[in-house]
Chains A and B, each alone.
Chain A
């Protein structure tokens, strides 16, 4: 099922570097989301978008930014990577109809050294 693709699957970077994680979906979904998954915290929302040019902060948005220039892509940027941002990052999308379920990508495992 290649409807939503994240890249890279694994990334190692150094503290202070800027990092961008890619998310691309081919379902023409209006809504896109970024979550991080950490042991003991489950999935926490970082940023989300309800359409082109729309972006919103989630519960753990500090140190992250997103942009939505087209329907298919929502890249996540870590402006200055910190060790606390070592995590597994998941992108998800949904059609935008009321209360439509999210569909997830396979994740990017990011390590900040």
Chain B
């Protein structure tokens, strides 16, 4: 089946630093999505990307849909303590199903 490789698995950063994480796949996707999960809650959609090469921002978050349609990255600028959580990438191919990466656990030290 389709698999996504998400890296890094975890990050420990200081408040104010920028963060970058990415996902790669051997398969082509039509949509890339980035979710954040807080402890004890379900994943919440941060950014959705629908076109190859698309660059989209949501506040301090920026994500890009790779030109090859096989990768995507998420950047967080000027991190704050509430950015702590697990970030998941997800890809959609020709169906409504999502394939998820295994997540990047972000820790922000004040």
In the complex, B66 has a CB within 8 A of chain A: no
Interface size bucket, A side?
20 to 34
0/1 string, B68-110, CB within 8 A of A gives 1: 0000000000000000000010101000111011110000000
Q: Which of B44, B50, B102 contacts A104 (CB 8 A)?
A: B44
- Check A41/B102 contact, CB under 8 A, given A33-B97, A96-B96: yes
Distance in angstroms between the alpha carbons of A72 and B100 in the assembled complex? 24
- What 3 A-B pairs are tightest by C-beta distance, nearest first? A104-B42, A42-B102, A99-B31
Interface size bucket, B side?
20 to 34
Q: Are A59 and B1 in contact (CB under 8 A)?
A: yes
Q: Are A105 and B42 in contact (CB under 8 A)?
A: yes
Complex interface: stretch among A14-22, A43-51, A61-69, A76-84? A43-51
In the complex, B21 has a CB within 8 A of chain A: no
In the complex, B33 has a CB within 8 A of chain A: yes
